[in-house]
Amino acid sequence: MSYETLLVEIRDSVGLITLNRPDRLNAINYQMSVDLEAVLAEFAADGQVRSVILTGAGRAFCAGADIKEMVDPAARLLPIYRHYNFFNRLADFEKPVLAAVNGACNGGGLELALCCDFRLAADTASFGLGEVKLGVIPAGGGTIRLPRLIGAGRAKEFMYFGNRVDAGEAERIGLVNRVVPLEHLMPEVRSWAAELAERPPLSLKMLKSCVDLGLEMDLTGALDYEKRCAEVLFGTDDRQEGMRAFVEKRKPVFKGR
């Protein structure tokens, strides 16, 4: 797989996507939005890929939208106008996705991270949604996903002022799951991804669906949906393998069936 704005590799059932515009702090341009949609489609169809890591090349995770492209009248319109589906594609991706935030994570970059299931950050990382300072608002789901993660009050403070926070504060308010030294970031994220790759894919899919869709439902509807997902899983080969391995005191081998 070769992409103009991404580096992509698959190793030990883990797909790694590296945003690769380091000279622009990995800012999202039109081509990157196209490439992200394409690689997500490839990973979704590849049964060998069990979990995915998203990170950035160089000293930034992603600085957000490429403002230079946005103000260039000769440039193709940015995803905000005609190609913003990749945010939802990432959020709805059925396999676990981990953001390895290696540096600056701002604007659309933070919105990318919010679409991931987990966010692990280097202690040198920083986070912000500063769109208000440009006379616009986050438009990649930030106004919706951030309040669901850290609460409405903190999210409004984050977006109304548009200021950045460091990794320690991001962990304190629940924006990231874990903060580690920069040199430990990828080993830590790969450890998480490798363990998730060993979990039953159908169970992970159902868990993600129950949590994400459950947040949009009333309590009764969410509980009913959870029950129906559990019933589906009870009839799978993976359920039989998991319980048989437990009884036999061995490590299960899940096939996603």
- Where residue 81 falls among pLDDT bands split at 50, 70, 90? very low
Each residue's pLDDT tens digit, 216-244:
999 999 999 999 999 999 898 888 888 88
Range of the domain at 221: 201-248
Specify the number of domains making up the chain. Answer: 2
Same domain for 130 and 10:
yes
One domain for residues 177 and 149: yes
The model's pLDDT over 168-217, given as tens digits with 9 standing for 90+, comes to 999 999 999 999 999 999 999 999 999 999 999 999 999 999 999 999 99
What does the DSSP assignment read for 33-70? HHHHHHHHHHHHH-TT--EEEEEESTTEEE--B-HHHH
- For 178, other C-beta atoms within 10 Å of its C-beta total 14
Residues near 215 by beta carbon (within 8 Å), at least 6 away in sequence: 148
57/253: higher pLDDT: 57
Structure-token match 């490439």, residue found: 35
Q: Is the pLDDT of residue 83 over 60?
A: no
Distance CA 53, CA 12 (A): 12
The whole-number pLDDT of residue 76 equals 54
CATH number, domain with residue 114: 3.90.226.10
Of 34-38, 63-67, 106-110, 130-134, which gets the smallest average pLDDT? 63-67
Do 141 and 51 fall into the same domain?
Answer: yes
pLDDT of residue 74: 57
* Residue 57 pLDDT greater than 80, yes or no: yes
CB 59 within 8 A of CB 96: no
| Residues 229, 188 share a domain | no
Catalytic residues: 111, 131
Instruction: Kindly state whether residues 101 and 160 are assigned to the same domain.
Output: yes
What's the average model confidence in pLDDT over 50-55?
Answer: 97
**What Rg do the C-alpha atoms of the chain give, in angstroms?**
19
Summarize pLDDT for 62-73 with one digit per residue, the tens.
Answer: 998 887 776 665
Whether residues 150 and 188 fall in one domain: yes
What value does the mean pLDDT take over residues 90-96?
Answer: 95
Same structural domain for residues 29 and 13? yes
Quick one: average pLDDT of 14-30? 95
Residue 256, classified by CB atoms within 10 Å of its CB into exposed (0-12), middle (13-18) or buried (19+), is: middle
Mean of pLDDT values over 12-30: 95
pTM of the model: 0.91
We report the CATH number of the domain holding residue 235 as: 1.10.12
188 inside domain: yes
